[in-house]
């Protein structure tokens, strides 16, 4: 394959999809106190949420070093790639893209393009999936970059949190700062569609938060590539039932939010991602 796709673990792509797509994932690191883990390597999604439930330490994430991306790019070159398109989580939320850019600038003899998805979790995952499928069809690096840049402008990400503690202590609160004064009786809804955290709404109950997410999707006649991304949420079926009048279960991709994003979203986070029609 002349063009190969590299991404990071914030895409929350399951292992079977990574294999099907021929994508290489460069993982971020997760720290619980003095213990450090590599997302998806020595810390699975279920292990992460188990630790989150049983430890007083809120986890922290750290971006991969440029050397991790350099090694990934070299592996793709050795596998026969003529070019690599590296699609990373939003530069407004992580230094991961900067690490990839540093590695790309030092790459010799290989055409490496680094693209800011301006997205996270399943929003990023959708972009990576569509880019990899285009690469499998023989699309050029220029065509894939143009595709991802177009998708980035149309990708929407909304999330309903059960708690803002993780987001606050992780320093990613951004435009949701105003929510902090009224946490006692609300379930905050965040908009990450711009690649940064912004307040989108406030719901009195968890059920109202899920209904808010449904109503946001239903504001337009139809969306593409709808996905439910959740942090081991016990009410996943409730969310799917709310969407069912317009989007049947088998038309929705469901993914579990991994450690990279779950660290900041916290337990039971419920998110919807989709691509607006062109």
> Domain segments of the chain: what residues?
3-153, 155-275
- How far apart CA 26 and CA 28 sit, in angstroms, is 7
Contact between 119 and 192 (Cβ < 8 Å): yes
Q: What global pTM score does this model have?
A: 0.92
100 or 58, greater pLDDT:
100
Q: What is the CATH number of domain 3-153?
A: 3.40.50.10170
Helix (H, G, I), strand (E, B) or coil at 90: coil
Q: Which CATH architecture has domain 155-275?
A: 2-Layer Sandwich (3.30)
When the pLDDT of each residue in the chain is averaged and rounded to a whole number, the result is 92
- pLDDT class of 55 with cuts at 50, 70, 90: confident
Angle at 247 between CA 246 and CA 252, to 5 degrees: 165
- Share of residues in the chain with pLDDT > 90 (%): 81
31-46 per-position pLDDT tens digit: 999 999 999 899 999 9
Among candidate residues 64, 11, 15, the one with its CA nearest the CA of residue 36: 64
Confidence at residue 172, expressed as pLDDT on a 0 to 100 scale: 52
Count of alpha carbons within 13 angstroms of residue 55, beta-carbon side = 18
**DSSP one-letter code for 5:** E
Percentage of the chain lying above the pLDDT 70 cut: 92
Q: For 176-221, how does the pLDDT look when each residue is reduced to its tens digit (9 = 90+)?
A: 554 554 555 678 899 999 999 998 998 989 999 999 999 999 999 9
Q: Give residue-wise pLDDT tens across range 100-140.
A: 999 999 998 899 999 999 999 999 999 999 999 999 999 99
The span from the CA of 206 to the CA of 213, in Å, is 11
């Amino acid at each position: 394959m002349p063009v190969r796709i590299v991404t990071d673990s914030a895409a929350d792509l399951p292992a079977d999809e990574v294999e099907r797509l021929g994508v290489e994932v460069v993982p971020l690191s997760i720290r619980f106190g003095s213990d450090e883990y590599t997302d998806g390597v020595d810390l699975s999604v279920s292990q992460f949420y188990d630790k989150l439930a049983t430890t007083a330490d809120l986890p922290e994430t750290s971006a991969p070093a440029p050397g991790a991306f350099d090694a990934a790019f070299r592996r793709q070159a050795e596998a026969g790639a003529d070019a690599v398109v590296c699609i990373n989580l939003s530069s407004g939320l992580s230094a991961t893209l900067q690490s990839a850019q540093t590695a790309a600038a030092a790459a010799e003899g290989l055409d490496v393009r680094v693209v800011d998805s301006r997205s996270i979790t399943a929003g990023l995952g959708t972009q990576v999936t569509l880019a990899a499928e285009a690469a499998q069809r023989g699309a050029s690096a220029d065509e894939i970059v143009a595709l991802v840049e177009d998708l980035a402008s149309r990708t929407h990400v909304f999330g309903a949190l059960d708690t803002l503690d993780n987001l606050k202590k992780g320093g990613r609160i951004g435009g949701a700062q105003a929510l902090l004064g009224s946490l006692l009786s609300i379930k905050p809804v965040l908009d990450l569609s711009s690649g940064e955290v912004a307040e989108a709404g406030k719901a009195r109950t968890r059920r109202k938060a899920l209904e808010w997410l449904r109503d946001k999707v239903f504001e337009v006649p139809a969306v593409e590539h709808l996905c439910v991304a959740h942090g081991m949420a016990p009410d996943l079926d409730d969310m799917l039932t709310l969407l069912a009048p317009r989007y049947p279960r088998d038309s929705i991709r469901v993914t579990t939010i991994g450690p990279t994003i779950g660290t900041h979203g916290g337990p039971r986070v419920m998110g919807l991602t989709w691509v607006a029609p062109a």
